[in-house]
Amino acid sequence: MPTTRAAPAVLSAEVLHERAVPVLAGIRAGAADRERLRELPYDQVRAVARAQLFAFRIPTAYGGAGASVRDTIRFVVDLAAADSNVAQALRPDFSFVEGLVAQGSDAERKTWYCRLMAGQVVGNAGWEIGGANGAVSARITRDGPHYRATGSKYYSTGALFADWVSATALDDDGQPVSFIVPRDREGLRLHDDFDAVGQRLTASGTTDLDGLLVHPHEVRDRRGFRDRRSPVTAFLQLYLAAVLAGIARDALADATAYARDRARPIKHSTAARAVDDPYVRLAVGEIASRAYAAHAVVLAAAQAIDDAWAADLDDDALVRASVEVAQAQYVAAEAALRAGELVFDVGGGSAVARVHNLDRHWRNARTVANHNPRLWKAAAAGAFHLTGEQPPLSGLF
């Protein structure tokens, strides 16, 4: 008797959130120990890719869920709450999808959506050090029918986990050119040398471009994104806020577990158990409140980006979205940093033992928050409310 093959599941936001539940549980298990022992989360990154969880924003015409920014960001918060290193390492994948949604040819979309749906991973070799902030010194020059890229990138988020690595270099006219090549291409050398206080497992180290061969079809035209406000920039910035909101939630989970299972009331406390101590309750309640606020503002800002899409990316709607994202970033950073500090107020001296790795919440929040200083976010929002001045077109708003 012939067997019938089940039809592939039609993806939707609900299906993907449901599919994510066991994946996130697996990622959360051992996250603190992985970071303490510096074990890069190769398997955890692949688990997200295999489950097709990059497909939230991929349009239904290409097999994706065609979900809202709000649904996508909700998943990012959940992922960061499981392991903020994994969430940050996959920022290039979600931003790559968003860029294709906003400005991709049908051929590009068919190619890359298919690869992402098949479980392939995209990494990034973007920022450099040693020059002005945002400056690019890497070069890409003609070599017969092809190109050769030379230079060095320091911030290469997720590249060690990736099948494909994207980068930017200056062409012979001094103009920035984006390209994407296979991870195993000769001349592309990745180093596990990221040296930050937090987010240590994001594989964000150095990428050397050593006469890297780049084929013409691997060059990507991104000129349409320059010098104008883009929903992709707002999405990228909100992604950072979503990671911070996830860190705050993770801090709440650890504070609650530590108070229940390990903490003892201080000697002069009137409580017999730490969970009954009023100051432990106060600390956990403040962490919970801050995590709640961070989650709420991040989702509200995501809705503002959705509203801009619904308004056909009207300039005013994009400006409002940029301002709301900046405000959400400020609140999420403040929440995560404070939550990471308050974790220690639920326990005594033993709470600082390295085996618990409770300091990772503050370290990770501090590292994410330093990507784009929150004081600039607050100042830009303040200028808009006071004078109507629009946020800068710097790629950070």
pLDDT at 226 over 80: no
For the segment 232-240, the average pLDDT, to the nearest whole number, is: 97
For the segment 304-313, the average pLDDT, to the nearest whole number, is: 98
Other beta carbons less than 10 A from residue 388's beta carbon: 8
CB 165 within 8 A of CB 121: no
In this structure, the answer to whether residues 101 and 192 fall within a common structural domain is: no
Q: How confident is the model at residue 395, as a pLDDT?
A: 80
Cα torsion angle, 150, 154, 160, 166, sign: negative
Q: How confident is the model at residue 131, as a pLDDT?
A: 67
Say how many domains are in the chain.
3
- Going by C-alpha positions, the residue among 27, 196, 180 that lies closest to residue 92 is 180
Final residue of a structural domain among 196, 223, 250: 223
The lowest-confidence range among 74-78, 100-104, 346-350, 374-378 is: 346-350
By residue range, what is the domain housing residue 80? Answer: 13-120
pLDDT at 7 over 70: no
| Per-residue pLDDT reduced to its tens digit, 8-58 | 568 999 999 999 999 999 999 999 999 999 999 999 999 999 999 999 999
- Going by C-alpha positions, the residue among 74, 76, 56, 75 that lies closest to residue 66 is 56
For the segment 304-330, the average pLDDT, to the nearest whole number, is: 98
| Per-residue pLDDT reduced to its tens digit, 341-353 | 999 999 988 999 9
d(CA 32, CA 141): 44
In this structure, the answer to whether residues 215 and 237 fall within a common structural domain is: no
Determine, yes or no, domain membership for 6: no
In this structure, the answer to whether residues 34 and 173 fall within a common structural domain is: no
In this structure, the answer to whether residues 195 and 110 fall within a common structural domain is: no
Determine, yes or no, domain membership for 7: no
Higher pLDDT: 362 or 135? It is 362
**Global pTM value:** 0.95
Determine, yes or no, domain membership for 126: no
CB 209 within 8 A of CB 188: yes
CATH of the domain at 87: 1.10.540.10
Higher pLDDT: 265 or 244? It is 244
Q: Which residue's structure tokens are 């017999």?
A: 272
pLDDT at 188 over 70: yes
Determine, yes or no, domain membership for 132: no
Q: How confident is the model at residue 275, as a pLDDT?
A: 87
In this structure, the answer to whether residues 241 and 363 fall within a common structural domain is: yes
d(CA 266, CA 261): 15
Q: How confident is the model at residue 4, as a pLDDT?
A: 45
Determine, yes or no, domain membership for 212: yes
* pLDDT over 90, % of the chain: 84
CB 201 within 8 A of CB 360: no
In this structure, the answer to whether residues 356 and 246 fall within a common structural domain is: yes
In this structure, the answer to whether residues 260 and 368 fall within a common structural domain is: yes
For the segment 173-193, the average pLDDT, to the nearest whole number, is: 95
CB 74 within 8 A of CB 295: no
In this structure, the answer to whether residues 241 and 377 fall within a common structural domain is: yes
3-class DSSP state of 74: helix
Work out the mean pLDDT of the chain and round it to a whole number. 93
Alpha-carbon separation of residue 162 from 89, 103, 292, 363 (angstroms) = 10, 23, 33, 25
CATH of the domain at 341: 1.20.140.10
pLDDT at 392 over 80: yes
In this structure, the answer to whether residues 368 and 277 fall within a common structural domain is: yes
d(CA 139, CA 167): 11
In this structure, the answer to whether residues 147 and 211 fall within a common structural domain is: yes
Q: How confident is the model at residue 349, as a pLDDT?
A: 87
pLDDT at 374 over 90: yes
